[in-house]
Amino acid sequence: MTVATLAYQSLGVVYGDLSTSPLYVYKTTFSGKLSLHENDEEIYGVFSFIFWTFTLIALFKYTLIVMSADDNGEGGTFALYSQLCRHARLSILPNQQATDEKLSAYATHGSVETWQSSALKSFLEKHPRFRTGLFILVLLGTCMAIGDGVLTPTISVLSAVSGVRLKITALHENYVVLISCVIIVGLFSLQHHGTNRVAFMFAPIVTAWLLCISSIGIYNIFRWNPHIFHALSPVYMLKFLKRTGIEGWISLGGVVLSITEAVFWPVFIVATFAAVVGSQAVISATFSIISQCCLAVTTVMFVTTCLMALVMIIVWKQRIAIAVAFLVIFGSMELLYISASVYKIPEGGWIPLALSFIFMAIMYIWNYGTTKKHKFDVENKVSMNRIVCLGPSLGMVRVPGIGLIYTNLVSGVPAVFGHFVTNLPAFHQVLVFVCVKSIQVPYISEKDRLMISRVGPKEYCMFRCIVRYGYKDLQQENYDFENRLVSGIVQFVEAEEDTTLKTTFISSCGREVGNMDIEKFDAQNQDHSFTNSKSSDILETKTRKGHGGGAPLKDESLQILRAKESGVAFILGHSYAKAKKSSSIVKKFAINVVYSFLSKNCREPDVVLNVPHTSLLEVGMIYHV
């Protein structure tokens, strides 16, 4: 039943695009000088290209191969890259931990490691430049799709609505623009309901469309040209290129319309209704405009092919020969289409390309700045020796309450806390370092969302909470974070028992402490994942246990709950990047302008965790890169 439902929904998502695009391929392909070659031989040749492009790329490559490389049900460029990162440790994201590999979605077990996969993984791990190059390739593929998608819906809807003027000649252009805007806003508003509902909504329309177009197609075959089946022979592709020469090669950019377009909902709906009122010519013109974006689309296809070849070796443990054959067969076809689409650049294809490179530059600058920021935080974190020498009071008066300090670090004590220790006379009784980080899996289940561990000796009453998200998770929590956090810490303390790491550490100041969580012990320190429960439930349980329902909570747990009742404060440390004076003008612009703007406008942890502004304290630091 589940498969049948998904198949039905796919009609509204996938086939809505595939079933409409081929309608306009011939009109787009036979444009310009090639319109002089519209005889049976050339038509058969184009049809042969369409058929084999559908068969080889859409069916064999994507349906049978690429879809088998899903990442826990997710597909696309990021899904392929995510698998490579997990299996070959290619990630350039900071804050990755060994404990992340315990997540069920992170599973990397599978086929037995081969010498070929081991050699390739070792090569990539030893050469950071190749890892960076792979990352840029992924950004390129992603940004090409975005650059194409920015323009396509707008152009499509505007051009299709303009077709109404063929019937209503008095309709002013201003009204055409207004109607187009209303349709675009309406269509994109529907996406808010999710792919699931939207697919159900459009599946009946696509089903009816497929039935109509297939019936018409069968009728036309028997009525006009029963010999069209001869075009299934690949020989006609060679004949087409031989007879039409360079013009035929250039026209292959239009053939790409048969398997892509980021056109989906807007073009499909508007084109269908516009065709009904007789605006076929305008819709064909629309696809001619869209075809100018085909260089961007074919690049995405080629990037997918390259990543898939790596997945075959590293993840699937296939022989290199198989991956090379896959790359050569499909890559050569896509490079042929890319080369044909190059001629579209002067005609308007440069616009999506320019947008793509702008998006890619922004993404790369953001990643570069974030990496440098993490490096600064790691290099300037407070030594545990210093913390230990201060004693359990940390050299301050520990007042009732809980202080949550947000940091980018998953281990150690952030530099911002050193400023508190130096400059503040008092701090909270319970300290919790909170880190929000992303993991290379699509989703993180709620029971695995928070990971609690202890920082320092037990009497220091310091903890760490790592809030983990997948790359498909929406980083916006609607639940009461502080209650979940306190509940998790209490559960951690109660479950700690004697399983906590027993080790003794002699600090540089001569103080002997047990259960020390310094940097080299962070990975070994006991952590505890927990399900959704509220501190009110803990209090209720404590009350029941106090009346003979079992052993009461530990003193430390009661201390944490009392601190919660005294209040919770949220401290957010900001690090502002500045390029060094010796840096180039390009780097200064990238860091001081672009990255600074992005960091000031990005979603901070306080927004992600729904922190009340009345309890938030922000502290800033400047670092140079």
Average pLDDT estimate for 495-516: 47
**With 70 as the cut, is the pLDDT of residue 605 above it?**
yes
pLDDT digits (tens, 9 = 90+) for 64-106: 899 889 888 888 888 899 899 888 878 766 777 888 888 878 8
CA torsion through residues 383, 389, 393, 395, sign? negative
pLDDT digits (tens, 9 = 90+) for 399-419: 999 999 998 889 888 888 887
pLDDT digits (tens, 9 = 90+) for 11-57: 766 665 666 565 556 666 766 666 666 677 888 888 898 889 888 98
Residue whose C-alpha is closest to residue 288's, from 213, 344, 215, 364: 344
Work out whether strand 504-506 and strand 462-470 pair parallel, antiparallel, or are unpaired.
unpaired
- CB-CB contact of 286 with 155 (8 Å): yes
- Gap between the Cα atoms of 247 and 13, Å rounded: 34
- Gap between the Cα atoms of 160 and 155, Å rounded: 8
**With 60 as the cut, is the pLDDT of residue 306 above it?**
yes
Q: Which two tokens stand for residue 516?
A: 């020390």
Residue whose C-alpha is closest to residue 230's, from 404, 48, 104: 48
**With 80 as the cut, is the pLDDT of residue 276 above it?**
no
Cβ neighbors of 129 (< 8 A, separation 6 or more) are: none
Length of the chain (residues): 625
**Between 517 and 582, where is the model more confident?**
582
Q: Where are the beta strands (DSSP E) in 327-425?
A: 397-406
Q: What is the pLDDT of residue 531?
A: 38
- CB-CB contact of 288 with 257 (8 Å): no
pLDDT digits (tens, 9 = 90+) for 114-142: 889 999 999 988 888 999 899 999 999 88
- CB-CB contact of 531 with 446 (8 Å): yes
Q: What is the pLDDT of residue 535?
A: 42
Q: What is the pLDDT of residue 512?
A: 46
Distances (CA, A) of 390 to 82, 484, 512: 43, 30, 12
Count of beta carbons in the 10 Å neighbourhood of residue 286: 27
- Gap between the Cα atoms of 186 and 180, Å rounded: 10
Cβ neighbors of 607 (< 8 A, separation 6 or more) are: 476
Residue whose C-alpha is closest to residue 276's, from 160, 180, 181, 198: 160
- CB-CB contact of 455 with 433 (8 Å): yes
Distances (CA, A) of 543 to 69, 76, 409: 51, 51, 37
CA torsion through residues 465, 469, 475, 477, sign? negative
Q: What is the pLDDT of residue 18?
A: 64
